[in-house]
């Protein structure tokens, strides 16, 4: 098994991870960036972004992240894609040192394993992002990828002139429903509350679109179909009635869960599993920083993720150079 030593390991190459990488490069740190998938993060599946400063015209999530990847190349930053970190631990010798001599706060060293490689690092930035939540109702597991999707940008074109449903009422759900109207002849928006949570500008666009029909105060009870989704069973919460509706596809946007598996036994998290940090992106364990959607932040946007990464790298540099 190969062994790599570095001062800083950045896990995740989405907006937060690449923001951190740029600032780590400017600080001339010895660092490594890895991601279990391709660089860019989940935002590459978003059809358009209209609120990232400097882009007056809408830009796709893929194009925005490609611009950031190209910016990283300017600083000779190498991104190891499809490099999954399978385990993370703290070197036992360093734990014992801190426990037996409180005055000698010898820095931790972290052991990361993955891709037949051991990475020994003095500091970590966890920028692993989040993943879509599921409904966990009857028929869902069997029909994911067979009519149930979590990415309209990826799969929307498959539903030209067909009827689809979007589950959720937040910004992403409404934005993706609007995107689907380019292909589908009918888009149902199903939301458990009696009003949407999306910002008003998106709500207004959806209300004005004659291809969209709202099924509010409603939840999905069941997905049905033989080999492919054919029908959803909906529970009308106001009238306490169930009914079936024929659809060809469903897109779920019911929230996110943090990708916290690597550190869930190591650092403190909130009740929803998001990593708790201070304003410097420091976690409860010295040497581990968190940035982006994986941490307990009040706003999860590309702009805030990039900013988190910049802060995390800045304070990782200070930590490594004993400035803190």
Which segments within 31-106 are labelled E, that is strand? 31-34, 79-80, 87-90
* In 160-209, alpha helices (H): 171-180, 200-207
Pairing of strands 117-126, 87-90: unpaired
Average pLDDT taken over every residue of the chain: 92
**Which structure tokens are listed for 179?**
């995107």
pLDDT at 322: 82
The residue annotated as part of the active site, out of 7, 80, 151, 236, is: 151
155 is catalytic: yes
Domains, in order of start, for the chain: 2-131+256-320 (3.50.50.60), 134-252 (3.50.50.60)
Q: What is the pLDDT of residues 104-124, one digit of tens each?
A: 455 678 999 998 999 999 999
Q: Of the listed 35, 72, 112, 155, which one is catalytic? A: 155
pLDDT attached to residue 104: 47
Q: 55: buried, middle or exposed (CB in 10 Å: 19+, 13-18, 0-12)?
A: middle
Task: Report the first-to-last Cα separation within the chain, whole angstroms.
Answer: 34
Between residues 57 and 219, the one the model is more confident about? 219
Torsion of CA 236, 239, 240, 246, to 10 degrees: -30
Angstrom CA distances, 20 to 10, 117, 155, 314, stand at: 8, 23, 31, 8
Q: Based on the residue annotation, tell me whether 154 is a catalytic residue of this protein.
A: yes
As a whole number of angstroms, the distance between CA 192 and CA 179 comes to 21
Tens-place pLDDT, residues 63-97: 999 999 999 999 999 999 999 999 999 986 555 55
Choose the catalytic residue: 30, 63, 86, 154.
154
């Amino acid at each position: 098994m190969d062994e790599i030593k570095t001062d800083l390991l950045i896990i995740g190459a989405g907006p937060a991870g690449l923001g951190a990488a740029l600032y780590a490069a400017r600080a001339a740190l010895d660092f490594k960036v890895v991601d279990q998938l391709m660089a860019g993060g989940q935002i590459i599946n978003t059809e358009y972004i209209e609120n990232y400063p400097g882009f007056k015209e809408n830009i796709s999530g893929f194009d925005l992240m490609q611009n950031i990847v190209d910016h990283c190349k300017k600083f000779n930053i190498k991104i190891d894609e499809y490099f999954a970190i399978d385990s993370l631990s703290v070197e036992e010798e360093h734990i014992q040192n801190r426990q037996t001599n409180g005055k000698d706060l010898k820095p931790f060293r972290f052991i990361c394993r993955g891709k037949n490689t051991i990475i020994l690092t003095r500091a970590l930035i966890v920028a692993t992002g989040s993943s879509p939540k599921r409904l966990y109702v009857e028929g869902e597991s069997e029909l994911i990828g067979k009519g149930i999707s979590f990415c309209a940008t990826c799969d929307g074109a498959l539903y030209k002139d067909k009827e689809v449903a979007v589950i959720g009422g937040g910004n992403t759900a409404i934005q993706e429903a609007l995107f689907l109207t380019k292909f589908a002849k009918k888009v149902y928006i199903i939301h458990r509350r009696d009003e949407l949570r999306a910002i008003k500008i998106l709500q207004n666009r959806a209300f004005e679109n004659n291809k969209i029909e709202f099924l509010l105060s409603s939840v999905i009870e069941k997905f049905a179909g033989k080999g492919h989704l054919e029908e959803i069973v909906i529970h009308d919460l106001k009238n306490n009635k169930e009914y079936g509706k024929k659809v060809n596809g469903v897109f779920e946007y019911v929230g996110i869960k943090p990708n916290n598996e690597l550190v869930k036994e190591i650092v403190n998290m909130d009740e929803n599993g998001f990593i708790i940090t201070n304003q410097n992106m420091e976690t409860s364990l010295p040497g581990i920083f968190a940035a982006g959607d994986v941490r307990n932040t009040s706003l999860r946007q590309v702009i805030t993720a990039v900013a988190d990464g910049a802060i995390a790298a800045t304070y990782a540099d200070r930590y490594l150079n004993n400035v803190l």
